[in-house]
Structure 1
């Protein structure tokens, strides 16, 4: 039986061998097939394409606008090389590369909105793919191996003349004309871009005179004047695209409003207006209540006058603050009140992970540092930078930080750190106008203070032992809004009374200096 099984196995192997022999000796068999069955060969050196995701660069940011690209497809980049500049939540940020390699694809053009957490550029990573290639085995000696030449790790772009390059903005600031379509934009601050949109000017057509070709406001005004001068008729001059335009021929001019039918002109919201739209929509889901109080500023006006005289003397100013306003005193007074009522420095968290109906258990999160946001009116719109850790600053420190934030806001250079981390907000609308206001609580906060215009009013003096007489007083109205889910009216009234007392008796701040 053993011999029968062995002979059967031998016959089966023989039949298999005879079927394969004609294929190997057939003249129709291509040499490549024959050699490939008898020898090993090298595999292609594939490139690894890694999509770079747009990271979260601010609190609650879900999308941002691509301002300009510093690279183009085919450009060679290194780790931490600049890729693009984006504007998110009213702040401009430069995005750098996480990898070294070759830019494969740009997912967005300049001016488009990029989603946070989604790919915005693809990069071929050098070296990663080569690590996955197994070592080449020794080829069989019977036949020469078929050698396949690996593809180069970098395919030069048509415009690079065979040399990998990194593309940076051109010195004239007109980077949109580099042969890459509308990938790049002109170098300019958000405030300048906002002005260009208001005047209906394509900023990529303007040659900037600033540093590195940056477009400035004067460049836009000169461009508009030159375009008006070269026009044969006044009607052909560029008209502003906002409702503030009152030029002749504009649908918002008095001549147009008095004659003809009603005209409606839709306009696109600016980036700042769009962010305010989204933020206020979320904020108005919070149940508000308003508390207003009148504060006597007479003593603070006198103290501020004396301190400004001291600052004006040579050698007594630190160079950062030349003159004090009332706002640093108010911000410090709010911080002192937060030590006594820390609930106003908290935020509300709702845990929706425990069930699927969205009715999670709310939690009140207390915060130790007083990061007070200050609403500022800038050329780009309403911005709310944050003065960090006010409790550790004195009046001059608060004033210096306010001056820095104000300058950065006007120039459009606020960083995400300047705009994030606020725990309570102060809005000083009084420097523009208005006595009373009803401010809206910012998301992730529970209270906000609105400051009205200071005015001079007659009042009766109440000095003990003296006859009552009418005197002048400087009064200002404070309007508080709070989240009524966690803050009750009595708590808000007591905290507002602490702030009022400190502002009316500003010498109290001296006793709390750190």
Structure 2
């Protein structure tokens, strides 16, 4: 009885399986294709997974920028808004972030190369939001080599090359046979701050060859100096082939100059900052300049600044973020006050067909464009070179506000973190060369501006007193020279002299600023 029941169940299962196989055989090919939607869906997405990311426009008129450093490498996972790289253009460095989440597949440029705006600079796999295990599962395993392939590979490895080795090469191999293996650097070994990269360029050091001691192998300034010392000491300690040692002479030694023989010239590529200064000054020197110099008495301003610094030291105002005032905020405010009376110094020249650079062939009609805000650029000496960040809307700031903005821009300039917004929009420029040295200068008018002020070094001189009844008395005076340059196409000497006199009056009587507080 049990045997009959079992055989009956087996026959029923056999009939069901046969019916299913006949139904599948009669089904159309489209139905079979529809029965595996997952396989077809994944095959379609894999064709559109890699997304080329285009370098967006980071500033007006910028068509290319230099890749300073990469924060990612192929195979790294990135999230949306994660930093990808740092680029530099128009003397400002900017971090480019990712607009997608995924896995980096390709870097189109190396560090130091010029990237084109609007062109792909990195490829990101949009399927990178899957888990790492899923990515490994989707990757087919490498086929194991057959026994014949293993034999061929072993023969290739074990067979030595048959070329002839020169004695010099043999000696080099022998000398380096006992040397330790190179230091394994981290994946961030070539990443460094802009100041460190500038130092490596000045010392002619390939930063990728420097072992970094910072976080994750990041190269620091100390690593650059240590690498240079090691490089300098290596040839002095290594004897030459003739048995004599190399003698290091001072760069100021006459004997070393005579032994050098002919003049040696070493071509060196310009840095990005030098290239931008070259282009800007070439365009600026096409503007007809004229120079105007004036002498300003700083005695009253020195006394006022001393009193205000004592007040700041005692009060400890935390909201101003200014611990000590310099003379520059007072001068910038005085320049802004003079621009209300002589707005032509805050204007720019535009000639049709020149894209606003103000340089035409003489046949086009020029236009003078007046600007309402006083955006005063301040020339700063930084490790990257000469930078000109802009203090925006000086007319709406007091002296403390100007000083705070100058401190912020100076901190960003030293670290190379100025943004294009910090560098753009200037209407007139002030260059304080006196902080370094020099009494007189002839500054160059920046393009899209019509005037620039150069401030010389302040010095103490004897002068006759201006107090009534004491005209024959000699007193100590703090004197500084102001040197102006202006675009003589639109600004005449009389206008600039009157504007300079307004500034001189305000600086010599700084209490006048109190009446113009806003």
Please give the range of the TM-score, normalised by the shorter of the 2 chains: 0.7 to 0.9
1:495 to 499, 505, 510: 499
State the match for 1:333 in structure 2: 334
Q: Report 1:115-514 matches (<5 A).
A: 115-123=116-124, 161=136, 178=187, 186-210=190-214, 213-228=217-232, 233=237, 248=248, 254-259=254-259, 260-316=261-317, 318=319, 320-352=321-353, 360-514=364-518
- Runs of 4 or more consecutive aligned structure 1 residues displaced over 6 Å after TM superposition: 35-43, 153-157, 174-177, 250-253
8 Å CA contact 2:73–2:104 kept in 1: the answer is yes
8 Å CA contact 2:57–2:118 kept in 1: the answer is yes
Aligned-pair distance for 1:300?
A: 0.8
Aligned-pair distance for 1:208?
A: 3.7
- Give distance in 2, aligned partners of 1:94 and 1:85: 4
State the match for 1:30 in structure 2: none
8 Å CA contact 1:352–1:359 kept in 2: the answer is no
- Give distance in 1, aligned partners of 2:101 and 2:352: 40
* Structure 1 pair 163–288 and aligned structure 2 pair: CA distance change class (3 A): farther
- Give the secondary structure class of the aligned counterpart of 2:477: strand
Q: How many residues align structurally?
A: 428
- Give the secondary structure class of the aligned counterpart of 2:380: strand
8 Å CA contact 1:156–1:163 kept in 2: the answer is no
8 Å CA contact 2:185–2:212 kept in 1: the answer is no
State the match for 1:66 in structure 2: 67
- Give the secondary structure class of the aligned counterpart of 1:471: strand
- Give distance in 2, aligned partners of 1:488 and 1:47: 63
State the match for 1:24 in structure 2: none
8 Å CA contact 1:175–1:204 kept in 2: the answer is no
Query: Where in structure 1 are there 5+ consecutive unaligned residues?
Result: 1-34, 127-152, 165-173, 179-183, 237-246
- Give distance in 2, aligned partners of 1:191 and 1:447: 31
- Give the secondary structure class of the aligned counterpart of 2:366: strand
- Give the secondary structure class of the aligned counterpart of 2:480: strand
TM-score scaled by length of structure 2:
0.73
Aligned-pair distance for 1:350?
A: 2.8
State the match for 2:86 in structure 1: 85
Aligned-pair distance for 1:461?
A: 2.1
- Give distance in 2, aligned partners of 1:175 and 1:390: 52
Residue by residue over 1:418-461, the C-alpha shift from the partner in whole angstroms, topping out at 9 and shown as x without a partner, is: 22222111000011111111111112222111001112222222
Which segment is superposed worse, 225-234 or 103-112? 225-234
8 Å CA contact 1:373–1:424 kept in 2: the answer is yes
Aligned-pair distance for 1:311?
A: 2.0
- Give distance in 1, aligned partners of 2:488 and 2:209: 51
8 Å CA contact 1:235–1:249 kept in 2: the answer is no
TM-score scaled by length of structure 1:
0.73
Aligned-pair distance for 1:468?
A: 2.3
Aligned-pair distance for 1:123?
A: 4.1
- Give distance in 1, aligned partners of 2:112 and 2:52: 20
8 Å CA contact 1:65–1:111 kept in 2: the answer is yes
